[in-house]
Structure 1
Amino acid sequence: MENMNTFQQFFYYFQTNGAYVFSQFTRHFLISIYGVLFAALVGIPIGIFISKHFKLANWIIRIANIIQTIPSLAMISILMLGLGLGVNVVILTVFLYSLLPIIKNTYTGMRQVDRNALDVGKGMGMTAWQRLYMIELPLSVSVIMAGIRNALVVAIGITAIGAFVGAGGLGDIIIRGTNATDGTSIILAGALPTALMAIITDWLLGIVERRLDPTNR
């Protein structure tokens, strides 16, 4: 009976606060997207660079690994000291945590490109830039996409913590629920859409990843 009452309160909360939940859902998703997008703009070129200068690869990947070892709440707290409260802190946190999977997968994808294909490109008179855009990136794009996929799923979880620094998002609803006297239904109203967002995002990007895989064509 108690579980039934909780779900009734859950649906009632959605009926009365549906617009608010949707606005926080959108805000949560956009914060995650922006952080991962900026990480991709930085991480993919770094991954390409270290694939050509692989002596630097261990150092750069090690630095990205060190960032990953810092707990997300601690990272947000550290960045908050310099940037203050708000969305920018969370976007930067997502950016930093997204670097490792994107850099590592870009490096791995580029290193796995068939050397024979590159030799053929050289034989055809292609420049290094032409080989990059016409051979290496098309053959490694599915691996790079897998890194972006992992980064975005992790980012959705990190963004939920951003409510502690006033960034909003679905984490704000979860915090409201924890502060309420009987807030289980409110917690569910924030937690379930967060989980649903991560599952759907992972599924959709998985489809894109498989479509981009040259072995599936």
Structure 2
Amino acid sequence: MITAFFISGGILLLAQIIHYFQTDSGQYWQYVGQHILMSASTLVIAMVIALPLGYLGSRVKPVASFCTAFAQVLRIIPSLALLFLLIPFIGTGVVPALIALVALALPPLMINTILGFNEVSPTYKEVGLALGMDRRQLRRQIEIPLAMPYILNGIKLALVEIIASATLATYIGAGGLGTLIFIGLGLYDMSYVVIGGVSVALISLLAMLGFDFLIRRVQRNGQDKYSI
């Protein structure tokens, strides 16, 4: 009896999902586009801020201490709370969502950038200096390539955080796949919730797998090029 109930419910849910894509596929892809655009824009802005700060933090201890403390503070603030805190100051829409998402993306980017440059062995730098490299050449040809796996891992963590948290941006009118989830919750229609939730999970998974593949490639190239 219970099994039959769940099977019939699953069939009905699947039929509703199929019907949605048959009638509103254009709207769905609009939400997907909004979500990806907001996530990509957030990541670019966060990288422009965090990567130089992370590199500076690997050179100057007070900057590293500031970045670490700032990252710890941001990590204890829930995503939704940060979104609502911005409303009295800059209203609703895409801009406050971007600001909140950028703030959430900064910790993994800064910390992993600092870690990456700090993990570069002094031996490689000494070899570079012995070959006559100046500071710029050392940074471009040795430090950045060897730190890149850590930096890419930070970008991966930040992007997954952004994609997941961008769902909540619907609360302040920023659009995206979160719209489907909140429509479904408001109408008690699980088909919308499933479509939105599974889509966000798939985008996050694809982003994570893509960066994992890229990190492995960079690590192999680094091992081949800088093996001593």
Partner Cα separation in structure 1 for residue 110 and residue 224 of structure 2 = 24
Q: Distance in 2 between matches of 1:169 and 1:140?
A: 33
1:63 aligns with 2:70: yes
Identity of aligned residues (%): 27
- Look up the match of 2:223: 215
SS at match of 2:11: helix
Q: 1:205 aligns with which of 211, 216, 223?
A: 211
CA distance in 2, matches of 1:130, 1:54: 23
Compare 116-125 and 194-203 and name the one that shifted more.
116-125
Q: Which has the larger radius of gyration?
A: 2
| Number of corresponding residues | 216
C-alpha deviation, 1:41, in angstroms:
1.1
Counterpart pick for 1:192 among 183, 187, 198: 198
Matched, 1:77 2:77: no
Q: 1:10 and 1:162 mapped to 2: Cα distance?
A: 23
1:38 alignment counterpart: 45
Computed over aligned residues only, the root mean square deviation of the Cα atoms, in angstroms, reads 1.3
Which residue number in structure 1 is paired with residue 28 of structure 2? 21
Q: Extract unaligned runs of 5+ from structure 2.
A: 1-7
Give the distance between the partners of 1:84 and 1:145, measured in 2 at CA.
33
Instruction: Give the TM-score taking structure 1 as reference length.
Output: 0.95
AA of the residue aligned to 1:187: V
Q: 1:85 to 1:130 in 2, by over 3 A?
A: same
In the TM superposition, what is the alpha-carbon distance from 1:215 to its structure 2 partner?
A: 2.6
2:67–2:111 contact (8 Å) kept in structure 1 = no
After TM superposition, list the pairs within 5 Å mapping 1:85-164 onto structure 2.
Answer: 85-164=92-171
Determine if the alignment matches structure 1 residue 8 to structure 2 residue 19: no
Following the alignment from structure 1 to structure 2, what is the Cα–Cα distance between the partners of residues 190 and 216?
43
Query: Could you report, residue by residue, the CA deviation over 1:155-212 in whole angstroms, capped at 9, with x for unpaired residues?
Result: 01110000000000000111111111x4111111211111111111111111111111
Distance 2:163 2:55 in 1: 26
Residue type of the alignment partner of 2:193: I
